[in-house]
Amino acid sequence: MKIRNGYVSNSSSSSFIVIWEKEPTSVEEVKEVLFPGLDTKHTDYYGNHDTYVLAKRIFNETKPTTNEEIKSEIRDQYSYYQTWYDKGYKADEELCEKYENQYREALKEEKTLEELEKKYSNQEKNRILRKIKLERILDESSLDEYETAYLNLQKRLEIVREITWGTGGYMKELVEDSYNKFMSDFDGKFVAIYEFGDDNGDGALEHGGIFDNLEHIRTSHH
């Protein structure tokens, strides 16, 4: 199962969950950790790069991350999950199977609901939505059976799409399980998240192995 959300382009970007022993306090400290023994140049496929400039960029983008930001990265890793699994943070096997089954059933239901939704014209949809807004203001019910069916259809679609888009259902439990495994390994460490992409001219930062001296997990978005 692969999930891909959001806008897709020909350019690439990657996010990195990086584990530092402690929060770096200077550019020099970052440079020493990332490029030990390299006074001035870091060389990769993209050429030679000033190690101080790279370290300064990393230092400026290093900040404490929240639990929810880490969980968001984990959720993305279930879209591109081999790296996450290889690191030992795969969720419980039974839980994974439950989600896979739920995901397949949700895909079928989503298709059925979308076909039902097509029976309503755009004019009808807009009229029903206006009535729903008015109901909220007046705190009274005025929808007929046909309109109520559309409202219930939309509510069910929202639930189903949370599953097919990887944000609901058993996915929440998968993320929580993986998060707990991940955090148990790095309790007391400083965790930061970075994102670099070709669109910003960050090829060296994305592909140059900048974090090879630190434990990290990369998620590639293409």
Instruction: Retrieve residue 212's tokens.
Output: 């090879």
Residue ranges making up the domain that contains 141? 93-164
- Give a yes or no: residue 177 inside a domain: no
> Lowest-confidence range among 9-13, 15-19, 30-34, 203-207?
9-13
97-100 long-range CB contacts below 8 Å, 24 or more apart? Answer: 98/170, 99/169, 99/170, 99/171, 99/173, 99/174, 100/1
Share of the chain above pLDDT 70, in %: 81
Task: Give the model confidence (pLDDT) of 205-216 as tens digits.
Answer: 888 888 999 999
The mean predicted confidence, pLDDT, of the chain is: 83
Helix (H), strand (E) at residue 191: strand 190-197
Same domain for 156 and 113: yes
Beta 13-20 vs 215-221: how paired, if at all? antiparallel
Same domain for 116 and 75: no
Same domain for 107 and 74: no
Same domain for 151 and 140: yes
Q: How many domains does the chain have?
A: 2
Same domain for 98 and 87: no
Helix (H), strand (E) at residue 59: helix 51-60
Task: Give the model confidence (pLDDT) of 140-155 as tens digits.
Answer: 567 889 988 998 999 9
- Give a yes or no: residue 55 inside a domain: yes
Task: Give the model confidence (pLDDT) of 36-71 as tens digits.
Answer: 876 666 655 566 778 888 899 999 999 999 999 988
Same domain for 112 and 79: no
